[in-house]
Chain A
């Protein structure tokens, strides 16, 4: 049973209050999608000039460039830029590690719902999919998947669209092959690496038994300053590798500290260029 903080109504209320202040920073890329307000790859009916071509029978006479005809006596057609609403694929890592803590799980649900909300505001056809799984609704998110490298969803990813990967990036294996498959064909790729505050900055709490929430493995660990420092070093290397991989292939990477949505947007997503003020 979901806790009160992860109830769909609670999540929706918080997203509704915050998401309107921001929008996805999609930039000037060309996208593919349905009719919308973003530049597409082809010819459309926007106000922005795109190119000329010779008149062909059947062309709309309204687009004949009469000035060029006056100079050259040849009928030419003015072509305008296509404007589309991009496809947005929100890819959620549903492994159990996203629910290692209740705060982390709640933050994941908030971000997933907020991404869908921002996509809708763009007029895009948004789709929420689990990594290695099928399309689902935000309310149907269940973080109980197995550990392993990232896999594409069952439904093929739409080329030329925006892809937002929501994950904690804590894969024991090399994620590069899987990530590249996710990034291939995307016009814009965002990797939101969501981590719990304790995962980012663990405290020296003495001896304790750590339980891996994905594999169930247990390990007795002495959490002292030296151990924490070693962990943070390894975590930082892991974050850097993922960042380099994403940025190196044209994507955007943001480390998000699990928190309330307003804090995550203002503190992490806005400076990272994932969002921009609406």
Chain B
């Protein structure tokens, strides 16, 4: 107990408090008698004067003083020189190779065995390696809680540097702590201050290195392109491709040079595809899920006057564009065509072809273009005669001629706007090849704003991103991602919601009322983790304490002293209660 433990000092204040109460606020048992004058000399309180009375040293008084003093000692955490409490920081390698063979089970047993060997006064912290260190348990949790933390440890991450996690472990274990790094290979860097427990074992393994789903080379239908890799002498496996309950392909594969490229045609309309290899040392790289590329159809709302439409050649241009649909409700469209600026929502783009007014100029060039802007990609404007009004366009200029801006981009609080200073009644700009190219570029940029999964097929460790509509009634106000094991995580973000995927398989994006909005397919991809040749098994005890030699601030196991004091405190309280109850009778 010291001044660093103020609870102990505060607890000791209870002793003078007990004395004060006994001096000034005393309730004694009453007895009616016939002759008080015979007891005059034994009186404790003077008939007049101060209210303080002579201190009664009754058993109750002593018991209460002892209880108060014991309470103070108990709160102060006294030590009679008991054993130093240990603080063990377990660092679990979360790379996928840790789940190969029996490595994961052995590692769990090893950590559990070491935790069980600790006393109840010791403390443990469990960290998981990764791009960002993660605390699975603690800091300084009870050893008995390690088992539950180990059940949450399912290593599936790609290769990563464990040093940030080890540095964090060293900081947590500074002083009396020790660090146990549970891995399957030689740790990087100087790890003499750590106890390294490597439990890996090399084994043959076949992995799916690449799995892609795309259009066939002839443009008709889809095909599945796979690249398989074999390590440690693995020369073959059994490949199965399923879509739901339907087996699309099943064949034995032979890896001649350690690799094999395959292309499997998929029937039209095939939904999610599951590619599976025969079980081997590492399970996580034997399976891949692939979802079809989403049809991201852009909603286009045309609000241009009917007279302006033929002048802008819109019907002809729209015939050349793909991947859009006409939308009557402007609020639900990603692209809006109009002759005057309107109210936009987030993610919307508006093309405003303002009517000609005032004096106009016909320009033949030279045109100055912002070629770095995606909207102007490929535009040349050669041979184009552009008839424009003499006006100032808002936003920053994308295309200009002379001192006249022809195209400008205006960023709004919600959405953005393309101003087109064009009088289609004359000139040849709407009939030039650059006009549909400009609209196609804008349309493609709007495609990214279509609600839904941005990339349905995601590699483990990457972020799955879902774009919300931000429209009431679409049910995507609150999103959750349901992992293959049924666990759910809420999504955060305004327009785009992202989740870091940690489990292979199909994940569902759930909106309001658990309605499925979209799906993500997560698969493992890291050839260096699939190659199990470098795994080792050894135990390297620490040769020096982590964080230097300093042992100051070490914790002592005071549980025994605290238990004894707690028992004494309880005894004193019970005795005092018994004494008072007996006196009351």
User: With the chains together, A205 CA to B29 CA distance in Å?
Assistant: 10
User: Is A199 a contact of B44 with CB atoms below 8 Å?
Assistant: no
User: With the chains together, A172 CA to B44 CA distance in Å?
Assistant: 21
User: With the chains together, A172 CA to B583 CA distance in Å?
Assistant: 30
User: Is A210 a contact of B56 with CB atoms below 8 Å?
Assistant: no
User: With the chains together, A220 CA to B35 CA distance in Å?
Assistant: 14
User: Is A222 a contact of B44 with CB atoms below 8 Å?
Assistant: yes
Of A98, A100, A220, A238, which one neighbours B33 at CB under 8 angstroms?
Answer: A100
B553 at the interface (CB under 8 A from A): no
User: Could you mark each residue 37-75 of chain B with 1 if its beta carbon is under 8 Å from any beta carbon of chain A, else 0?
Assistant: 111111111000000011010110000000000000000
B358 at the interface (CB under 8 A from A): no
User: Is B38 a contact of A209 with CB atoms below 8 Å?
Assistant: no
Question: Which A residues touch B37, using CB under 8 A?
Answer: 172
User: Is B30 a contact of A209 with CB atoms below 8 Å?
Assistant: yes
A28 at the interface (CB under 8 A from B): no
User: Is A211 a contact of B33 with CB atoms below 8 Å?
Assistant: yes
How many whole Å from A217's CB to the nearest CB in chain B?
5
Question: Contacts A207-B44, A208-B30, A220-B53 known; A235 to B38 CB distance under 8 Å?
Answer: yes
User: With the chains together, A97 CA to B36 CA distance in Å?
Assistant: 10
B132 at the interface (CB under 8 A from A): no
User: With the chains together, A199 CA to B45 CA distance in Å?
Assistant: 22
Of A97, A98, A168, A219, which one neighbours B39 at CB under 8 angstroms?
Answer: A219
B32 at the interface (CB under 8 A from A): yes
How many whole Å from A208's CB to the nearest CB in chain B?
5
User: Is B44 a contact of A231 with CB atoms below 8 Å?
Assistant: no
User: With the chains together, A47 CA to B583 CA distance in Å?
Assistant: 67
User: With the chains together, A181 CA to B25 CA distance in Å?
Assistant: 48
User: With the chains together, A227 CA to B34 CA distance in Å?
Assistant: 17
User: Is A231 a contact of B31 with CB atoms below 8 Å?
Assistant: no
User: With the chains together, A220 CA to B53 CA distance in Å?
Assistant: 9
User: Is A100 a contact of B58 with CB atoms below 8 Å?
Assistant: no
User: Is B32 a contact of A211 with CB atoms below 8 Å?
Assistant: yes
A70 at the interface (CB under 8 A from B): no
User: Is B34 a contact of A196 with CB atoms below 8 Å?
Assistant: yes
Of A170, A208, A234, which one neighbours B34 at CB under 8 angstroms?
Answer: A170
Question: Contacts A220-B28, A222-B56 known; A199 to B35 CB distance under 8 Å?
Answer: yes
Question: Contacts A207-B58, A220-B44, A220-B53 known; A101 to B39 CB distance under 8 Å?
Answer: no
Chain A, interface size: which category? 20 to 34
How many whole Å from A214's CB to the nearest CB in chain B?
7
Give the residue name and chain of the A residue nearest to B41 (CB). Answer: A230
Question: Contacts A206-B58, A207-B56 known; A222 to B32 CB distance under 8 Å?
Answer: no
Give the residue name and chain of the B residue nearest to A173 (CB). Answer: B37
Say whether chain B's binding surface is mostly helix, strand, loop, or mixed.
Answer: mixed
How many whole Å from B10's CB to the nearest CB in chain A?
29
In this complex, how many residues of chain B approach chain A with their Cβ under 8 Å: the count is 25
User: Is A97 a contact of B28 with CB atoms below 8 Å?
Assistant: no
Question: Which B residues touch A219, using CB under 8 A?
Answer: 36, 39-40, 43-45
User: With the chains together, A231 CA to B54 CA distance in Å?
Assistant: 20
Question: Which A residues touch B391, using CB under 8 A?
Answer: none
User: With the chains together, A199 CA to B44 CA distance in Å?
Assistant: 20
A266 at the interface (CB under 8 A from B): no
Question: Which B residues touch A140, using CB under 8 A?
Answer: none
A215 at the interface (CB under 8 A from B): yes
A275 at the interface (CB under 8 A from B): no
B227 at the interface (CB under 8 A from A): no
In this complex, the member of B36, B42, B43, B44 whose beta carbon has the largest number of chain A beta carbons within 10 angstroms is: B36
Question: Which A residues touch B44, using CB under 8 A?
Answer: 207, 219-222
User: Is B43 a contact of A213 with CB atoms below 8 Å?
Assistant: no
Question: Contacts A231-B38, A231-B42, A235-B38 known; A211 to B58 CB distance under 8 Å?
Answer: no
A212 at the interface (CB under 8 A from B): yes
User: Is B32 a contact of A238 with CB atoms below 8 Å?
Assistant: no
User: With the chains together, A217 CA to B47 CA distance in Å?
Assistant: 10
User: With the chains together, A217 CA to B56 CA distance in Å?
Assistant: 21
User: With the chains together, A205 CA to B583 CA distance in Å?
Assistant: 8
User: Is B58 a contact of A221 with CB atoms below 8 Å?
Assistant: no
B26 at the interface (CB under 8 A from A): yes
User: With the chains together, A146 CA to B450 CA distance in Å?
Assistant: 103
Question: Which B residues touch A217, using CB under 8 A?
Answer: 36
How many whole Å from A143's CB to the nearest CB in chain B?
10
Question: Which A residues touch B38, using CB under 8 A?
Answer: 170, 231, 234-235, 238
User: Is B43 a contact of A220 with CB atoms below 8 Å?
Assistant: yes
Question: Which A residues touch B39, using CB under 8 A?
Answer: 210, 219, 221, 227, 231
Question: Contacts A207-B44, A219-B45, A231-B42 known; A212 to B30 CB distance under 8 Å?
Answer: no
User: Is A222 a contact of B34 with CB atoms below 8 Å?
Assistant: no
User: Is A227 a contact of B42 with CB atoms below 8 Å?
Assistant: yes
User: Is A230 a contact of B34 with CB atoms below 8 Å?
Assistant: no
User: Is A222 a contact of B42 with CB atoms below 8 Å?
Assistant: yes
User: Is B32 a contact of A206 with CB atoms below 8 Å?
Assistant: no
User: Is B34 a contact of A211 with CB atoms below 8 Å?
Assistant: no
Question: Which B residues touch A221, using CB under 8 A?
Answer: 39, 42-44
User: With the chains together, A196 CA to B33 CA distance in Å?
Assistant: 10
User: Is A172 a contact of B28 with CB atoms below 8 Å?
Assistant: no
User: Is B31 a contact of A208 with CB atoms below 8 Å?
Assistant: yes
User: With the chains together, A221 CA to B28 CA distance in Å?
Assistant: 9
User: Could you mark each residue 61-99 of chain A with 1 if its beta carbon is under 8 Å from any beta carbon of chain B, else 0?
Assistant: 000000000000000000000000000000000000110
Question: Which B residues touch A222, using CB under 8 A?
Answer: 42, 44, 54, 56
User: Could you mark each residue 553-585 of chain B with 1 if its beta carbon is under 8 Å from any beta carbon of chain A, else 0?
Assistant: 000000000000000000000000000000100
Question: Which B residues touch A104, using CB under 8 A?
Answer: 34
Rank and list the top 9 A-B pairs by shortest CB-CB distance, nearest first: A97-B34, A212-B36, A170-B35, A227-B42, A100-B34, A220-B44, A209-B28, A207-B56, A213-B32
A-B contact pairs, 13 of them (CB 8 A): A97-B35, A170-B34, A199-B34, A205-B29, A208-B28, A209-B28, A212-B36, A219-B44, A219-B45, A220-B44, A221-B43, A222-B54, A231-B42
